[in-house]
């Protein structure tokens, strides 16, 4: 029986993936796995039983990913599962920034009791006029699952799309419309585009990447959209750029005291992935990742450990070892198992940055002593018996 907890409400379609072998718990105590959406986990005390965390979403900045790797806790995310939901809101954001739809709706609301509202509307509507997005240049920073969908949709709406992504995956490249210009530098995006939208994960290295220097290079009257994370933008520099007219509108999905209620800024309360479809897709993907890891030891879509797939566990004994990605680990592991007379039927070892994962199918079960000896190898962070 496995035990898991949800730190945020998670769509039922996802939690239904867990069968009768799973118990949903109210607390972390004794849990094998954790499902999370936006709860901040940096200061959370995790019990030693937790070996996996799955974020129902793409960004993992609410999870202490490296500390988890050091404890042998595999952190998963759900890349692409909410991409369409975010893409649709980005397109809406561009339209809201181009025409004063919000101002127009507010005007009607204010004047709703006037008998002559129809005549007055025709007189007043010029106050809310705007421009079209077709024919304008859109720069996309980051062409992952969301950026690529935005690129294709904007291109279909008649925009001239420029994409910048030095880490573009082959899959993403295949999915991009041939109309998208490949920008080799951020400067090309900054200097050429009328609309700029950011679709990169927040890391320690790219905090405030959209800073005064970047704003200085942008066209006057640029529209900036941020549905990724607020900390990617230096908001003090943004406020100056709005005051000078460099930035015409900032559309952000991240409400905070600096941007809320400020002229020239359209703020939504982190709604990008808040659709029934995105929430279900993320929950289902996260639950499937956890099940495959807990039941078979397989890893797919982890942000701190490599992918590893040895299929459904049908061997007599399967063990999973998380460890540092350093020399001599496999020989120490095989020596211990060999010394116990346990034959290895299959073994996969993969590394990702500082951390690595070894999944081993055995022809007989490993003894307690052998498991303890594996756990005592310097650099091993966790030994888990799958079967
Ligand atoms: C994401 O990182 O994909 C979003 O923040 C998901 C969400 O809204 O929870």
What are 319-356's pLDDT values in tens digits? 999 999 999 999 999 999 999 999 999 999 999 999 99
pLDDT at position 171 is 86
What separation in Å is there between the alpha carbon of 81 and the centre of ligand 1?
Answer: 10
Q: By the 8 A CB rule, do 145 and 282 touch?
A: no
Pocket of ligand 1 (CB under 6 A): 37-38, 57-59, 82, 270, 272-273
Cα separation, 340 vs 347, whole angstroms? 17
Q: By the 8 A CB rule, do 21 and 1 touch? A: yes
How far is 51 from 236, CA to CA, in rounded Å?
40
Residues 157-177 pLDDT 10s? 999 999 999 999 998 899 999
In a mutational test of the pocket of ligand 1, which residue from 63, 65, 82 has the highest number of ligand atoms less than 8 Å from its CB? 82
Ligand 1 nearest atom to the CA of residue 273, by list position? 8
Q: Per-residue pLDDT averaged across 133-144, rounded?
A: 98
The pLDDT of residue 163 is 98
Whose Cα sits closest to atom 4 in ligand 1? Answer: 57
| Ligand 1 centroid – CA 202 distance (Å) | 12
Q: How far is the CA of 35 from the centre of ligand 1 (A)?
A: 13
83-94+132-267: CATH topology: Rossmann fold (3.40.50)
Q: Are 283 and 76 in contact (CB under 8 A)?
A: no
- Going from the Cα of 38 to the center of ligand 1, the distance in angstroms, rounded, reads 7
Give the distance (Å) from ligand 1 centre to CA of residue 283. Answer: 12
Q: How far is the CA of 184 from the centre of ligand 1 (A)?
A: 28
CB 187 within 8 A of CB 170: no
Read off the pLDDT of each residue in 184-200 and give the average, rounded to a whole number. Answer: 98
pLDDT at position 58: 96
Q: How far is the CA of 15 from the centre of ligand 1 (A)?
A: 18
Give the long-range contacts of residues 2-5, CB within 8 A, separation 24 or more. 2/32, 2/33, 2/294, 3/30, 3/31, 3/32, 3/33, 3/49, 4/31, 4/32, 4/33, 4/34, 4/35, 4/290, 5/31, 5/33, 5/34, 5/35
Averaged pLDDT for residues 252-266? 97
316, pLDDT greater than 90: yes
- pLDDT higher than threshold 90 for residue 212: yes
Please report where in the chains the tokens 């952000």 appear, as a residue. Answer: 252
Among 37, 55, 276, 278, the mutation site with the greatest number of ligand 1 atoms within 8 A of its Cβ is: 37
Query: Average pLDDT for residues 289-316, to the nearest whole number?
Result: 97
When pLDDT is averaged across residues 43-59 and rounded to a whole number, the result is 97
The single-letter DSSP state of residue 302 is B
Mean of all residue pLDDT scores within the chain: 97
The whole-number pLDDT of residue 271 equals: 98
Q: How confident is the model at residue 362 (pLDDT cuts 50, 70, 90)?
A: very high
pLDDT band with cut points at 50, 70 and 90 for residue 24: very high
Query: 1-81+273-304: CATH homologous superfamily?
Result: NAD(P)-binding Rossmann-like Domain (3.40.50.720)
* Distance in angstroms (rounded) separating the CA atoms of residues 138 and 144: 16
What's the CA-to-centroid distance between 79 and ligand 1, angstroms? 10
C-alpha 25 – ligand 1 centre gap (Å): 23
Residue 215 Cα distances to 4, 77, 207, angstroms: 45, 32, 15
Q: Which atom of ligand 1 is nearest to the CA of 229?
A: 5
Contacts of 172 (CB under 8 A, 6+ apart): 143, 144, 145, 147, 148, 165
Q: What is the pLDDT of residue 97?
A: 98
Q: Which atom belonging to ligand 1 lies closest to the Cα atom of 271? A: 8
* Cα 86 to middle of ligand 1, angstroms: 9
Closest Cα to atom 8 of ligand 1: 273
Would you call 314 exposed, middle or buried from its count of C-beta atoms within 10 A (0-12, 13-18, 19+)? Answer: exposed
- Determine how many CB atoms are found less than 10 A away from the CB of residue 179: 13
Asked if residue 232 has pLDDT above 90, the reply is yes
Pick the residue whose CA is nearest to atom 6 on ligand 1.
57
**What would the mean pLDDT of 13-31 be, rounded to a whole number?**
97
Determine the pLDDT at residue 166: 95
Cα atoms in the 13 Å half-sphere on the side-chain side of 74? 32
Fold of the CATH domain 305-387 = Alpha-Beta Plaits (3.30.70)
Which atom of ligand 1 is found nearest the CA of 60?
Answer: 2
Q: What angle do CA 220, 224, 225 make, to 5 degrees?
A: 165
The predicted structure's pLDDT at residue 69? 98
For the chain, give me the number of helices (H) and strands (E)?
A: 13, 16
- Which of 58, 200, 226 most suits a substitution to test ligand 1, by most atoms within 8 Å of the C-beta? 58
Whole-number Å distance, alpha carbon 100 to ligand 1 midpoint, is 27
DSSP secondary structure, 119-186, as one string: HHHHHHGGGG----STT-EEEEE--SHHHHHHHHHHHHTT-EEEEE-TT--HHHHHHS-TTSEE-SSH
| Ligand 1 pocket: which of 11, 35, 57 to mutate (most atoms within 8 A of CB) | 57
Q: pTM of the full predicted structure?
A: 0.93
Q: Where in the chain is the domain with CATH 3.40.50.720?
A: 1-81+273-304, 83-94+132-267
Q: Is 113 a residue whose pLDDT tops 90? A: yes
The packing angle between helices 101-110 and 83-98, to 10°, is 70
Among 272, 276, 281, name the best residue to mutate to test ligand 1's pocket (greatest count of ligand atoms within 8 A of Cβ). Answer: 272
Percent of the chain at pLDDT > 70 equals: 100
Which residues of the chain are in CATH 3.30.70.260 domains?
Answer: 305-387
Closest CA to 271 of 254, 248, 250: 254
């Amino acid at each position: 029986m496995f035990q898991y907890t949800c730190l945020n409400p998670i769509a039922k379609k996802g939690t239904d993936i867990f069968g009768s072998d799973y118990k949903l718990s109210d607390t972390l105590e004794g849990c094998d796995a954790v499902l999370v959406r936006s709860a901040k986990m940096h200061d959370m005390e995790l019990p030693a039983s937790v070996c996996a965390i799955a974020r129902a979403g793409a960004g993992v900045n609410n999870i202490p990913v490296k500390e988890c790797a050091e404890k042998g806790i595999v952190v998963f995310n759900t890349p692409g599962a909410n991409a369409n939901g975010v893409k649709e809101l980005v397109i809406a954001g561009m339209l809201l920034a181009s025409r004063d739809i919000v101002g127009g709706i507010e005007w009607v609301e204010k004047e709703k009791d006037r008998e002559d509202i129809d005549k007055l509307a025709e007189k007043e509507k010029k106050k809310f006029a705007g421009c079209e997005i077709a024919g304008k240049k859109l720069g996309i920073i980051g062409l992952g699952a969301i950026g690529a969908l935005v690129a294709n949709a904007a291109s279909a709406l008649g925009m001239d799309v420029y994409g910048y992504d030095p880490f573009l995956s082959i899959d993403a490249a295949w999915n991009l419309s041939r109309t998208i210009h490949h920008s080799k530098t951020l400067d090309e995006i900054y200097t050429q585009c009328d609309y700029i939208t950011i679709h990169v994960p927040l890391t320690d290295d790219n905090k405030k990447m959209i800073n005064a220097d970047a704003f200085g290079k942008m066209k006057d009257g640029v529209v900036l959209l941020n549905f990724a994370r607020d900390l990617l933008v230096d908001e003090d520099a943004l406020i100056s750029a709005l005051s000078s007219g460099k930035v015409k509108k900032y559309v952000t999905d991240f409400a905070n005291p600096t941007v809320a209620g400020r002229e020239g800024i359209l703020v939504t309360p982190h709604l990008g992935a808040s659709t029934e479809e995105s929430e279900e897709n993320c929950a289902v993907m996260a639950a499937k990742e956890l099940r495959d890891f807990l039941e078979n030891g397989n890893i797919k879509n982890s942000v701190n450990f490599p992918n590893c797939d040895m299929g459904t566990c049908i061997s007599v004994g399967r063990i999973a070892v998380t460890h540092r990605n350093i020399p001599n680990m496999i020989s120490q592991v095989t020596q211990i198992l060999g010394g116990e007379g346990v034959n290895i039927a299959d073994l996969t070892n993969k590394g990702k940055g500082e951390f690595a994962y070894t999944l081993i199918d055995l022809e007989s079960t490993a003894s307690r002593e052998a498991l303890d000896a594996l756990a005592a190898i310097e650099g091993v962070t966790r030994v888990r018996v799958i079967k």
